Chain A
């Protein structure tokens, strides 16, 4: 059982995950930020490996990715930086990025390296479900890595069932049809969607992301799902002076 499964076994509600881009705002701050987030009370982490053309991301995360690439971040370097991950961080860690850098690195090699440094799962929004199933599922299983699928308000029920079947840690619910960085606006339609998913009684826990950036949105999300993910709001914080010192306060402001 990997760390993610242990976490979801232990804690059923109010989970908080935080996303940040490796190599942003500075090249060598990845582990420092991860460590600070754990100390501040994050339950698990998503470390983004940057890509030049991140179509699912809004301006904040796209900017952080470009800056990280300009700083010299790449997958080789990220795995080098993560060599000490498990000496410094005990909570589950996921890698999040796009399919082309992973394919160029080699999917088997990527999985092996991720497992070696102690990564627990991967989120690759543009990796097609059928390709994962046909080509990579075995590889992910071999290295005990979870592959996280996204669900949007438009995802059909049959597809959600299929995603539930293929998932083995949690399902990432997008709060709305949008790229990252839009504020969550809870409307009747959003609540109906969240409730619809809740009523499906999926075997995997759900975590809501996209648009979660303060206590109000965090509370709304965790009322319907097991947890919530904060991305753009935290990446914005990393773009401000003295960001390391501000991390505990940021997490407190979300959790309340």
Chain B
């Protein structure tokens, strides 16, 4: 495929593995093993079985009639919110736990922002009887309290990250430190298409089930495999990468990645990385990064805990640079309004992350015959308190 990774772990100018020596053996072991393991027939069959019977895949592709009427196009929702644990994160967590088992690891660590990846990881650890430690920013623990409770109930230890902005970026730093200190028995389940190679590629492959199913379902429902537009929200970008993956080489499909503008791109409270960032290195890969002139990482902001990350995955950085995908942004308010609209038009309360993707429909112009797929990456239960606070329900 034209847009995937090269042998050195780069997507064009982005990617690589910028890690301290302490992590080199772990990352190198993964690099050497992961393709072999996930290409194995036994792995594939166990992965597929769990996705089907445990996660509930294939997730439906739902033609949202009232939304379609409003926007004058055929709007399809890829229902990742219906997966077990409520988001796309479980696809990758299942893949990585099976990988960790085959690597002989006994202990799992993870980072989480909104808590969805933490819940997914805690879930698969419970399923497989593995010890689980999840790092989460102190601020995120407050705003995503139900997910913290879920993780604890599933048997995970949740460790607050108290440095920096006390959000996802800092949770990632803490998880990396844990991995440095536990190089032999521990696997780090990174939750997005970020981190040193091979993580971005591996996570994208596990999430590519989203676009694989979409193509098949579109063909069944419309007689055409390819839509005109595909939309997904982007923090680190794992649901978007999964949603784009099998459409990357279909150049006629317009790919739209929606970032969080927060309180406005130029407000100083934003996570619109592709606009505010420039090339840099964070968490092990060269990508596009929000940073000062001196190369210090700028604290991002979004009402959505899952989107306030200062970088994007390296493959996204590449797709942005070569303009294969269009990177746009949506404010907190716009996303909340879109969440309310979807709730009231379709009876589906989306995660605020996913609501960013829906909000962008307002800014697009469609032909009546256009098929548009939006990745509904997660459900909004975890965000109810934010919705309540905003709308005063």
Q: A: which residues have CB within 8 A of B?
A: 51-53, 55-56, 58-59, 62, 66, 69, 74-76, 99-105, 125-128, 130-131, 149-152, 154-156, 159, 174, 177-179, 182
Contact = CB atoms under 8 A, between A and B. Distances in A.
Interface stretch (B14-22, B209-217, B312-320): B14-22
A131 B177 CA distance: 23
B72 to A, nearest CB: 45
A133 B252 CA distance: 40
A174 B294 contact: no
Given A101-B296, A126-B19, A128-B16, A155 B281 contact: no
B196 to A, nearest CB: 9
A59 B181 CA distance: 14
Contact of B295 (A104, A125, A126, A152): A104
Contacts of A62: 163
Contacts of A150: 20-22
Given A100-B281, A178-B180, A156 B20 contact: no
Nearest to A75: B294
Nearest to A179: B177
A154 B183 contact: yes
Contact of A56 (B22, B182, B183): B22
B122 interface: no
Contacts of A59: 163
Interface string B270-289: 00000000001111100001
B229 interface: no
Given A69-B296, A100-B291, A127 B24 contact: no
A156 B26 CA distance: 12
Interface of B: 8, 16-22, 24-25, 163-164, 169, 173, 176-177, 180-184, 280-284, 289, 291, 293-297
Contact of A53 (B21, B25, B173): B173
Contacts, number: 105
A127 to B, nearest CB: 7
Contacts of B169: 53
A101 B20 contact: no
Instruction: Output the residue of B182, B280, B283, B296 with the most chain A CB within 10 A.
Output: B296
Contacts of A156: 25
A126 B293 CA distance: 20
Nearest to A54: B173
Contacts of A69: 296
A155 B22 CA distance: 8
A103 B293 CA distance: 11
A60 B183 CA distance: 22
Q: Which 9 A-B pairs have the closest CB atoms?
A: A104-B295, A101-B295, A125-B20, A150-B21, A74-B294, A56-B20, A154-B25, A52-B296, A100-B295
A128 B23 CA distance: 11
A68 to B, nearest CB: 11
A152 B282 contact: no
B295 A155 contact: no
Contacts of B18: 99, 126-128, 131
Contacts of B164: 52-53, 66
